Amino acid sequence: EAQLVESGGGLVQPGGSLRVSCAATGFSFSGYAMSWVRQAPGKGLEWVSGISGTGGRTYYADSVRGRFTISRDNSKNTLDLQMSSLRGDDTAIYFCAKDQYSGGLRYFDLWGRGTLVIVSS
Amino acid sequence: DIVMTQSPDSLAVSLGERATINCKSGQSVLYSSTNKNYIAWYQQKPGQPPKLLISWASTRESGVPERFSGSGSGTDFTLTISSLQAEDVAVYYCQQYYSNSLTFGGGTKVEIK
């Protein structure tokens, strides 16, 4: 059964850094693009960043470009999001999501349960 | 970025009745070379991640009940639940993938009247 499991969330001070990860099992990880989608408490979904199946192309929302870095290790079937210069409005559940496509970003047919990141002093 | 606007924000429908959710994109998401609309719909129940219901504006995912249908083209799209069941209580989101800067609608909360 295909599955995504996020880890690494927690409490971090404003201006700090945090790395969240996603472990993928049950499908050919390198064959699909992956993304991070976040959801602030009680709010809607916001796409954050995506990466192609090979890792050769990365994409970012304007709200995180220059602060967040997405990466993947296809030998370990893992997806990471390195977050820096964190702000209060980055507080959210961060979901790892599998794309239906390899070369670019489309829609998500598998989601993890998410990891909570809280930015607060 | 392509702005996705959903309406209404919430709606209450009696069991067995029809629920209709609208989604409007800030520009056309119909790709002329493929003649496909780059729209997906998701269902999110409390405490759960989103679940993909429909892709390409009207293609139902495997296992999704037939009471869920998607329609529309260009900039205006609709998700219809033909006969609301108790298990359909959730928030529904549209998403465009015409642009690689993906965007979601604000969500529509569906409740039982």
pLDDT of A77-99, one tens digit each?
999 999 999 999 999 999 999 99
Q: Provide the pLDDT for residue A114.
A: 98
**Is the minimum CB–CB distance between A51 and chain B shorter than 8 Å?**
no
pLDDT confidence bin for A58, thresholds 50/70/90: very high
pLDDT of residue A102: 85
Residue A59 has pLDDT above 90, yes or no: yes
- DSSP at A85: S
Residues from chain A that touch B106, judged by Cβ atoms under 8 A, are 44
Check residue B65 and give its pLDDT. 98
For B64-91, the DSSP string reads --TTEEEEEETTEEEEEESS--GGG-EE
What's the confidence (pLDDT) of residue A103?
A: 83
Query: Which regions in chain B score pLDDT beneath 70?
Result: none
CB of A27 within 8 Å of any CB in chain B? no
Average pLDDT over every residue of A23-50 = 98
Give the residue from B92, B100, B102 with the most A CB atoms within 10 Å of its CB, the best one to mutate: B102
User: Left (φ > 0), alpha (ψ -120 to 50) or beta: where does A40 sit?
Assistant: beta
Q: SS3 of B107, please?
A: coil
Question: What number of other Cβ atoms are within 10 A of residue A66's Cβ?
Answer: 9
Per DSSP, the three-state class of B106 is coil
Please write the tens of the pLDDT for every residue from B62-71.
999 999 999 9
**Sequence-separated (6 or more) residues with CB below 8 Å from residue A60:** A48, A49, A68, A70
Statement: residue A116 has pLDDT above 90: yes
User: How many CB atoms sit inside 10 A of residue B98's CB?
Assistant: 19
Determine which of A39, A58, A107 to mutate to test the interface with B (most B C-beta atoms within 10 Å). A107
Closest among B86, B90, B82, B73 to B23, alpha carbons compared: B73
